Chains A and B, each alone.
Chain A
Amino acid sequence: MNRYEFEDKISDYIDNQLSVSERKAFEDFLNSDNEAKELVESVRKTIKLLSSAETVKSSNEFLPNLTSRINSEKKNISKRSKQKTSNHFFGFTRTNASLMVVLLVCFVSVSLNLLSTEGPTIQSNIVSNTSNQIKDTTPQFSNSNTNLASTTSDTSDTTSIPRSNIKLDKKIKLVKNQR
């Protein structure tokens, strides 16, 4: 260990931060050099002196001053939160709230218009179509011998009628017959 290495490790030695081997090397150097020994002792005393230095304490006004600052800070916070709440409607800013109201009114009016004009017509059409279908299919079951193909609607269910009873000769013209 040279002088520079020794000086670098003085604090580590005093604060017990050296490993066993480093400590041994340090102490060997210390025992061989009286000046080094004196320096370590001097640094040790300096540390002691620093810790014995007079400490500065807070003044008597510290706590009252802090209290008044905290109180004013509290007032500021409550003021800010009040301002925030007065400027907001249901969590929206004034601009956003008015925009939302306009959008809502538009949506409601459009949906009302759709319901009042198109809605009933569609419903009535659906109702009339289904009633027609019912009318068309009912006679087929009552007069099974009659010509089923002459019914006005092609949408009737023919799956339940036997194939032999259906006469489609006059109603259907095949491509083959046209030739």
Chain B
Amino acid sequence: MMNQQLQNLSTQQLDMNSKFQYTDEELISRFQNGDEQAYIALVNRYKDKLINFVYRLVNDRDQAEDIIQDTMLKLYTHKHYYRNIAKFSTWIYTIAGNFAKTELRKKKTRKVTNNSQLGYEDRDYDPPSNEPSPQKLVEDDFINTKIHDAIDNLPDHFRIVTVLRDIEKLSYEEISSIVEIPLGTVKSRINRARLQLQKDLKELI
């Protein structure tokens, strides 16, 4: 049953996403009461955002996808752990962030070079539908590689807050909850990371 539901997702938009626009908290509440459609809606709402966030941290698309699968599986098996005292987005980002941190720690101890770390340009991604010129594509690719490298050069504790703020567009308070550090520290880390990025990306500005 679950299988069929998920397979139909790519072809048809869920009513939960398109018509009613349930909030995240309403959806998780419905899921906690046994509504699996709500779970699917949450997965659809967050899978890309979370993969994008985790990818910036672990620098490996496949690994990022695996981490988000773990996150979504945890959401499925530990749904009752969510209490309606925090925002759902904060909770799910915290889970994904913790998985990513664990993976980063493992990576540091292993120090193994992964093929997927060779270059951002090697990875496939969905091309825009209006098909820009080849020159534009090359330019975009160059810019993306530069941005990616600049983010990758940041220390881990700077990178996570910058990605959450400037790419995921979360508030300082949310970031403070996710990373579990004081608000002042979040602000100062974001500021220092931005200054470093500004230096690294000067040629693009």
Contact = CB atoms under 8 A, between A and B. Distances in A.
A58 B47 contact: yes
B163 to A, nearest CB: 9
Interface of B, secondary structure class, is: helix
A66 B151 CA distance: 29
Interface stretch (B21-29, B64-72, B107-115): B64-72
A17 B204 CA distance: 27
Contact of A43 (B6, B77, B187, B194): B194
Interface stretch (B12-20, B83-91, B96-104, B164-172): B164-172
A54 B144 contact: yes
Contact of A49 (B43, B61, B191, B201): B201
B51 A49 contact: no
Given A56-B64, A63-B6, A64-B6, A50 B73 contact: no
Contacts of A37: none
B43 A66 contact: yes
A49 B6 contact: no
Interface in B182-203: 187-188, 190-191, 194-195, 197-198, 201-202
Interface string B35-67: 000000001000110011001000001001100
A46 B196 CA distance: 10
B9 A11 contact: no
A7 interface: yes
Interface of B: 2-3, 6-7, 9-10, 43, 47-48, 51-52, 55, 61, 64-65, 68-69, 72-73, 76-77, 123, 125-126, 140, 143-144, 147-148, 151, 162, 166-167, 169, 172, 187-188, 190-191, 194-195, 197-198, 201-202, 204-205
28 contacts: A11-B194, A17-B187, A43-B195, A46-B205, A47-B166, A49-B201, A49-B204, A53-B147, A53-B167, A54-B140, A55-B48, A55-B52, A56-B61, A57-B48, A57-B52, A57-B126, A58-B51, A58-B68, A62-B68, A64-B6, A66-B69, A66-B73, A67-B6, A69-B69, A69-B73, A70-B73, A71-B3, A73-B73
Given A39-B198, A50-B147, A58-B48, 15 more contacts: A10-B191, A17-B187, A42-B202, A46-B194, A49-B204, A49-B205, A53-B167, A56-B61, A56-B123, A57-B126, A58-B51, A58-B65, A62-B68, A64-B7, A71-B2
